[in-house]
Amino acid sequence: MDSRIEIKVTNPKKVDNVVHPKAAAASPAPSQPSVSSPSHGGQERRLLEEEGQSHSRRGGQQGRRLMNVMPSKNWVPWLIPAFVFANVLLFLISMFINNCPKNSGSCVARFLGRFSFQPMKENPLLGPSAATLEKMGALDVTKIVHEHQAWRMITCIWLHAGVFHILANMLSLVLIGIRLEQEFGFVRIGLVYLISGFGGSLMSSLFIQYGISVGASGALFGLLGSMLSELITNWTIYANKLAALLTLIFIIVINLAMGLLPHVDNFAHIGGFLSGFLLGFVFLIRPQFGYVSKKHVPPGYIVASSKPKHKPYQYVLWLVSLILLIAGLTVGMIMLLRGVNLNDRCSWCHYLSCVPTKSWSCKSQQAYCESIEYGNQLNLTCVSNGKTGNYSLSGENSSQIQQLCYKLCS
């Protein structure tokens, strides 16, 4: 598609950047070019107006032509589709490893063979067992802290608890991620996705230390957070900016409010959102309106009044966000590896993940186990489901034994 646009432009303002052609003999005297605003989609367009005097017999009418000096670049999205494919593939692999008919007598959709689902009372999302997800790399604070398996903070964002879970997350990823990758490219959006997912896992681990957790929700909320900060830091180049800001805030609030329901890890959502919000100031910064890159100026033209690439407030937001992000992730990891539970230091924070009402309770079902010690071996039997497990004793305290019991009964 031809990127040139024919348009009539009035005399440029003095504050606009001006690009003059160099003087040439016997050539029409060009007027001052002006810079056009970006499109409503936020795509960068630097447009140069070349005005010439016509000395022909037709009356010397002025002609103006708008040249696209820096055409908008739309990236071809491939990383987000690859992420979707990887998530679906890993879900199928987890179902294959789960092999419900071999381990349970009441599987859902048994005609699927080893891809059939765990009983609804065990997993209502139509998916594998908790033991399979843990084997695949689910977020498990006990293993991270005591067995140094920090890699679970990344692997857990590629796993999903069931069909309903993965359908909701992948649909959201396509709707949000494709447009962002088209505008900013796979490198920046890929980094926002992965670092936000890690940030969500970190906050979840600091507040929810029993059971396991899986899902890409933290990374998805990171993309939402980056959209908000991108709008703020590039505020001057957008049209209808206030309406876009209010709409985006409304969507974010609704999604965070859904996390107040029981059995939803809203701490992962909040951690991912905060990480993505800071990353947007770092990775998704755009040049200010009126900036003309010298490498995109046509040969024979000079920039008479050059604006800096970014505004001062953009540099301030970039620096502050980078410092806060690095400091937050570093301090959070140190606290996690030391076994800190932030609920002990914040008595009201648990309401950020679940608000109790008359319709539901936020209290986790208590797990009770009978324990027998044989030397350095510990045998636990869950009272509610009768499952047993043998564990090697290596200085476990009562809190760690309770975590083992909880996992055995879940």
Active site residues: 217, 269
Token digits of residue 229: 């900060």
Nearest to 276 by CA among 183, 141, 177: 177
Residue type, 89: L
- For 222, residues 6+ apart whose C-beta sits below 8 A from its C-beta are 192, 193, 195, 196, 197, 199, 200, 272, 273, 275, 276, 279
Helix (H, G, I), strand (E, B) or coil at 168: helix
- Tokens (6 digits) for 266: 């809203």
Comparing CA positions, the residue from 137, 135, 124 lying closest to residue 201 is 137
DSSP-assigned states of every residue in 332-361 = HHHHHHTT--GGGT-SSGGGGT----SS--
Q: Please tell me whether residue 213 adopts helix, strand or coil conformation.
A: strand
Cα 194 to Cα 175, 191, 197, 220: the distances in Å are 17, 5, 5, 10
CA dihedral 216, 217, 223, 226 (to 10 degrees): -130
Q: How far apart are CA 227 and CA 242, in angstroms?
A: 14
Q: Which residue from 319, 312, 325, 218 is spatially nearest to 273, judged by alpha carbons?
A: 218
DSSP notation for 220-272: HHHHHHHHHHHHHHTGGG-SSHHHHHHHHHHHHHHHHHHTTSTT--HHHHHHH
Give yes or no for a contact between 215 and 156, defined as CB atoms under 8 angstroms apart.
Answer: yes
Residues 6 or more apart whose Cβ sits within 8 Å of residue 95: 114, 115, 117, 127, 128
SS3 of residue 153 by DSSP: helix
Report CA-CA distances (Å) from 130 to 68, 98, 144, 376: 56, 10, 17, 26
Calpha distance 75→183 (Å, rounded): 6
